[in-house]
Structure 1
Amino acid sequence: MTNEGVNKSKRQFLTSALTVVGAVGTGFIAVPFLSQMQPSAKAMAAGAPVDVDLTKMEPGQLIRVAWRGKPVWVLNRTPDVLETLTTLTDKLADPLSNESLQPDYCKNEFRAIKPEIFLAVGLCTHLGCSPTFRPEIAPPDLGDDWKGGFFCPCHGSWFDLAGRVYKGVPAPTNLEIPPHKYVKDTLITVGEDNEEASA
């Protein structure tokens, strides 16, 4: 059998064209399959660090942000609040935060990098309810021992304005402090450690 009547350039063109069409078809099939294996934007955002702008925070103001599906509180504490925190030691279950969850750079009297700015995960360490922010001193429903803090309405746990738990309440430990760092004086990133402070 001879190849005299076969046009080799036409055969090569058809082979190349079919190869390209096959590659494109494979790409159309593979792209949706591979893209479904990527985490969704919502899933990626759930664990992503969150920036908190402090430029408009007033003294005594509490703002809330969401990080990893949890509420995070950021409180701008006044000098009076900082002074009050030093007087509560005998009323607290863990005043030095030895049994509590916080980064090493927040294991101090104020549980903060900078004393005036306090961050905490806004979930009670008893059963995960969200305590309410009660900054007033000695309200009628909480009594004279209340110097301002966070009150859990579910089972009555008390936390001071450093997230430290009072003695004799259901919550076993202080409020959790999330990892965070100052990007600049007025900007905090929640979810990233403060390498300078921990070094």
Structure 2
Amino acid sequence: MANAEQGSLDLSDLDPKRRRFLTTSVGVVGAAGVVGLAVPMLKSFAPSARARAAGAPVEVDISKLEPGQMMTVEWRGKPVWLLNRTDEALASLVTVEDEGLLADPESGMPQQPDYAVGSERSIKPNILVLLGVCTHLGCAPTYRPEVAPPDLGPTWFGGFFCPCHGSKFDFSGRVYAGVPAPTNLEVPPYKYLTETQIVIGEDQESA
């Protein structure tokens, strides 16, 4: 019977089956309480949105990125482009240099890591990795792979065009001369884990 003064339950007067049932029920409720406590604790170990925005690396699978296609991922709250350049796009890098269209063709300004220099500005020739932010006022340029469209003229060989103020960049993100943007588009730190896995936000390991 119940002991009102102690506020506890005396199970000694109950039959064995009912006593076993009550004991098991108390154990299950206690275990459920432990699980309920554990779930929020485990969730707290997952990276927060604030941590990702602060610069946590982002792993990207490019296995389905066909030549000519571009994909966008977010890193540090900014868009990062991954473009699989065609042979024609790579050839155009020489054309714009020969035509004298670029302000910084040798990428002398430090908008890229040391391992992503040269006209291609990439670790591997066909895969370009760029921050999709115009270096003028931070607008988002658009991908314009077509050659000499009416709105961009005969000296356009494909690349990126900023519709905000008319800045132009080639297929390596190198800025055209005479446009508002002062420098080339930035290449973020990145490295390859495999042939088709790239990590944005971590530097390429030295050979």
TM-score, normalised on structure 1? Answer: 0.78
**Matched residue SS, 1:45:** helix
1:106 partnered with 2:106 = no
1:138-190 alpha-carbon deviations (Å, 9 max, x no partner): 11111111111100011100000100000000000000000000001001000
Question: In the alignment, what sits opposite 1:44?
Answer: 51
Structure 2 letter corresponding to 1:85: L
1:56 partnered with 2:56 = no
Give the deviation of 1:44 after TM superposition: 1.1
Structure 1 letter corresponding to 2:76: R
Q: Where do residues 6-155 of structure 1 align in structure 2 (5 Å cutoff)?
A: 41-46=48-53, 47-89=55-97, 90-155=100-165
**Matched residue SS, 1:80:** helix
1:55-82 alpha-carbon deviations (Å, 9 max, x no partner): 1111100000000000000000011111
Count of matched residue positions in the alignment of Structure 1 and Structure 2: 160
C-alpha separation between the residues in 2 aligned to 1:45 and 1:109? 31
Q: Where do residues 171-190 of structure 1 align in structure 2 (5 Å cutoff)?
A: 171-190=181-200
C-alpha separation between the residues in 2 aligned to 1:148 and 1:182? 26
- Please list every run of 5 or more consecutive structure 1 residues that lacks an aligned counterpart in the other structure: 1-37
> Runs of 4 or more off by more than 6 Å in structure 1?
none
**Matched residue SS, 2:178:** coil
C-alpha separation between the residues in 2 aligned to 1:135 and 1:100? 25
Structure 1 letter corresponding to 2:193: V
Q: Cα RMSD (Å) of the superposition?
A: 1.5
Structure 2 letter corresponding to 1:140: P
Given candidates 177, 183, 204, the residue that maps to 1:194 is 204
Give the deviation of 1:99 after TM superposition: 1.4
C-alpha separation between the residues in 1 aligned to 2:156 and 2:96? 10
**Matched residue SS, 1:120:** strand
Conserved 8 A contact 1:100-1:173: no
Give the deviation of 1:52 after TM superposition: 1.1
1:73-94 alpha-carbon deviations (Å, 9 max, x no partner): 0000011111111111111000
1:164 partnered with 2:174 = yes
C-alpha separation between the residues in 1 aligned to 2:195 and 2:115? 17
Q: Report percent identity of matched pairs.
A: 60
Give the deviation of 1:100 after TM superposition: 3.6
